[in-house]
A and B are shown apart, each in its own frame.
Chain A
Amino acid sequence: MALLFDTHVQKMKYNVLREVAKLAYRDELTPQRIMEIAPRIIPEGKPMFRCCIYKERAIINERVSMALGGEEDGTVVGVLPIACDECPVDGIQVSNACRGCLAHRCKDNCPKDAISIIDHKAVIDKEKCIECGKCLSVCPYSAIVKHTRPCVNACKPQAIHIDQNTEKAVIDKEKCISCGACVYQCPFGAITDKSDITKVISLIRDSNLNRDYHVYAVVAPSMASQYPNAVPEQVVAGIKALGFHAVVEAAWGADMVAWLEAQELVEKGFLTSSCCPAFVNYINRHFPSLKEHVSHNLSPMAQMAKWLHETDENCHVVFIGPCIAKKAETKYTDAGRYVDYTITFEEMQAMFSARGIDVTTMHKAELDNASFYGRIFARCGGLAEAVTEALKEQGVSDEQFKLNAVSCNGIAECKTALFKKQKGILKENFIEGMACVNGCIGGPACLSHSSKNFAQVDAYGKSSMENTIADAIRVMQILNPALDVKGDGEVEKEIEEIEHTK
């Protein structure tokens, strides 16, 4: 099999998840068996990336405990204390490239007078330095560098700081939006997400082959771009082979969301999207005054799962996606009423591997309920396109409501748009917020982060049988009249017409 992961950190995490999944499948999650995982992954010999194999194994044990669910403390992301220790924390430093030049622009530009030239070299007084970075930007030799920990850099909501005593990263629970950027960016994989993989395996096993209850997999549309050597239909066959009763597209829920979002927009005139749980967390925690503007729609995942519960009272739902924030949404919001567990593509692959499933050699199973528009929710801009389409399909005229959306690609852009809204200077009337750059296809637990993924999601969208959102959701209207796709009485009229032609 071709290399499955973008980074070796993901590979290491996967190795642990796979071993844990194997034990879970064999129902052998005993302390003894669990202890045997680390030596299996880190065998005797030279250490690969740490001082000794014993430290490497200790870190594996930390990973195992996260794979088994980690601590239940209201978060889904945690720091592995042993793994996090050696990144520099010294901030702005003068390197050997400094020539102590005559111009010394660093000294002249320092607002705090923290730089002096001693022995032909710039020296920074750490007591005075405020890390503003001015010296760094004016040095003609690029001789001044700023060491920022990758996790701190990755965390746009500024929820990570370094404890001065332990020199370990600390995540502020009140500020963290569970986006998982730090998980993907830490070069040592020292921050990681907690897994429900063993619970999902038990849920499937205890269903007695789906006879006692049905376990549905709701899979995110970004699935289409995870495996360069397998088509989405093969991945669906793989998921079914894990023992799920049925595989359903979250994109179908997205069709419903687009439809309802259009209605809500016409009514309220301004909204922010509610699809991305990290974006919703960001508003709640960093822009609480804008909470009222968040769309009241469930996320596509929760919407789809809710509908499954309406059609099948004997139903359990597992969401599979690229997203770590979805784990928080599932555990700590109303979505948990409909979704039992969320697992990531990394965890899905670990389950495949533990079961000996190679998706590249699977047969093709069918997956087709959602429209193009529901499927392109996976990439930034897709949601706004879908809402535009839903407004058109609902016959909303420009006079009634004209969509002017800002699609925010990543949390930094979300911050700008939300800030403008707070100041009352945002000209757009809809904020599509995607915490990950590129949208869900840039999610922290994607197996692939290739630049081709955007086009791949669009191709998957275009392969849909349903041309419009209304076509995709008409069957749902039977149970949920709020989704009336044609307006009052129109469905009955259509039935009459069909009858007439017969």
Chain B
Amino acid sequence: MITVSVCIGSACHKRGSYAILNRFKQLVQQHGAEDKVNVAPVFCLGECANGVSVRIDDQLVLGMCEDNVDATWEQLVLPRIG
């Protein structure tokens, strides 16, 4: 099981973390990966000035926006779930 944590602290919230969270959830559904990937909100990853922050297991991904969720999924999530 891998965890995708999307920061919903104030700064990320303002930059659209809800849409990113939702997109990740959609991707999980599309790939039928509900038992492999857990998408969850998290508070403050400490990178408030760098766009929306996401943590995939222990890897921090900064500068997330709605447009790069799919690419991130392909590069960083898919390889881990095989």
Residues of A within 8 A of B (CB): 214, 216, 236, 245-248, 308, 311-312, 365-369, 465, 474-476, 478-479, 495, 498-499
Contacts and interface: CB of A to CB of B under 8 A. Distances in A.
SS class, residues of chain B in contact with chain A: helix
Interface string B6-26: 001111011001100110011
A311 B43 contact: yes
A495 B30 CA distance: 11
B69 to A, nearest CB: 11
Nearest to A496: B26
A245 B46 CA distance: 8
A478 B41 contact: yes
Given A369-B8, A495-B26, A499-B26, A479 B40 contact: yes
Contact of B44 (A245, A465, A495): A245
B78 interface: no
Contacts, number: 56
B25 A246 contact: no
Contacts of A366: 10-11, 14, 48
B22 A498 contact: yes
A277 B65 CA distance: 41
A479 B5 CA distance: 13
Interface residues of B, number: 20
B17 to A, nearest CB: 8
6 contacts: A311-B41, A366-B11, A369-B8, A478-B21, A478-B25, A479-B40
Nearest to A492: B29
Contacts of B39: 478
Contacts of B17: 475
B40 A475 contact: no
Contacts of B21: 475, 478
Nearest to A367: B10
Contacts of A216: 43
A366 B10 CA distance: 6
Given A367-B10, A475-B41, 15 more contacts: A216-B43, A246-B43, A246-B44, A248-B43, A366-B11, A366-B14, A369-B8, A369-B10, A465-B14, A478-B21, A478-B41, A479-B40, A498-B22, A498-B26, A499-B26
A312 B18 contact: no
B76 interface: no
Contacts of A479: 40-41
Contacts of B18: 474-475
B41 A246 contact: no
A368 B13 contact: yes
Nearest to B14: A368
A367 to B, nearest CB: 5
Contacts of B10: 236, 247, 365-369
B60 interface: no
B81 to A, nearest CB: 20
B40 to A, nearest CB: 7
A476 B40 CA distance: 10
Most chain B beta-carbon neighbours within 10 Å: one of A214, A216, A368, A475: A475
B1 interface: no
B33 interface: no
Top 8 closest pairs, chain A to chain B, by CB? A246-B44, A366-B10, A366-B11, A368-B10, A367-B10, A246-B43, A368-B14, A475-B18
B2 interface: no
Contacts of A248: 9, 43
Given A495-B25, A495-B26, A311 B40 contact: yes
A246 B9 contact: yes
A484 to B, nearest CB: 15
A248 B11 CA distance: 11
Given A216-B43, A311-B40, A369-B13, A475 B48 contact: no
Nearest to A233: B10
A311 B44 CA distance: 11
A308 B44 CA distance: 11
B43 A312 contact: yes
Nearest to B18: A475
A469 to B, nearest CB: 14
Interface in B27-50: 29, 39-44, 48
A474 B8 CA distance: 12
Given A368-B14, A465-B14, A475 B42 contact: no
